[in-house]
Amino acid sequence: MDNINIKKLAKELNISTSTVSRAFNGSPDINKDTKEKILAFAREHNFLPNHYASNLRDKKSKTIAVIVPEIANDFFAQAINGIEEIARKKGFYILLYRTDDIFEKEVSFVNYLNNGKVDGIIMSVSGEASDHNYLRKLEQKNVPVVFFDRVYEDIEAAKVTTNDYDSSFAATEHLIDTGCHKIAYLAVNKSISIGKVRMQGYVDALQKHHIAFDDELVIDCSNDEKENYAILKKVLEEIKPDGIFSSVERLAFATYYVCNDIGIDIPKDLKVISFSSLHIAPLLCPPLSTITQPAFEMGSKAASLLFEELEKKGMYIQKKEHVLKSKLFIRKSSGG
Binding site for its own copies (CB under 8 A): 63, 71-74, 77-78, 80-81, 84, 93-98, 109, 112, 253, 256-257, 260, 279-280, 282-287
Cβ proximity to its own copies: between 168 and 255 the closer is: 255
CB of 83 to its own copies, least distance (A): 10
**In the complex, minimum distance from the CB of residue 221 to its own copies, in angstroms, rounded to a whole number:** 17
Cβ pair 303, 83 in contact under 8 A:
yes
Concatenate the DSSP letters of all residues of 111-147 into one string.
Answer: HHHTTTT-SEEEE------S--HHHHHHHHTT--EEE
Q: Shortest gap between Cβ of 177 and its own copies (angstroms)? A: 25
Exposure letters 153-173 (e unless 16+ CB within 10 A, then b) = eebebbbbbbbbbbbbbbbbb
Looking at the Cβ atoms of 169 and 253, the one nearer to its own copies is 253
CA dist 236 and 176 (Å) reads 18
Q: In whole angstroms, how close is the CB of 290 to its own copies at the nearest point?
A: 14
- 99/193 with CB nearer its own copies: 99
Instruction: Closer to its own copies by CB, 258 or 291: give it.
Output: 258
Give me the count of residues in the chain: 336
Cα separations (Å) of 99 from 60, 195, 216, 222? 26, 17, 30, 15
**Which of 193, 292 has the CB closer to its own copies?**
292
Cross-strand bridge partners of residue 243: 183, 271
Q: Residue 36 or 100: which CB sits closer to its own copies?
A: 100
* Nearest approach, Cβ of residue 119 and its own copies (Å): 14
Torsion sign across C-alpha atoms 242, 228, 98, 77: negative
Q: Are 173 and 209 in contact (CB under 8 A)?
A: yes
Least distance from its own copies to the Cβ atom of residue 226, Å:
14
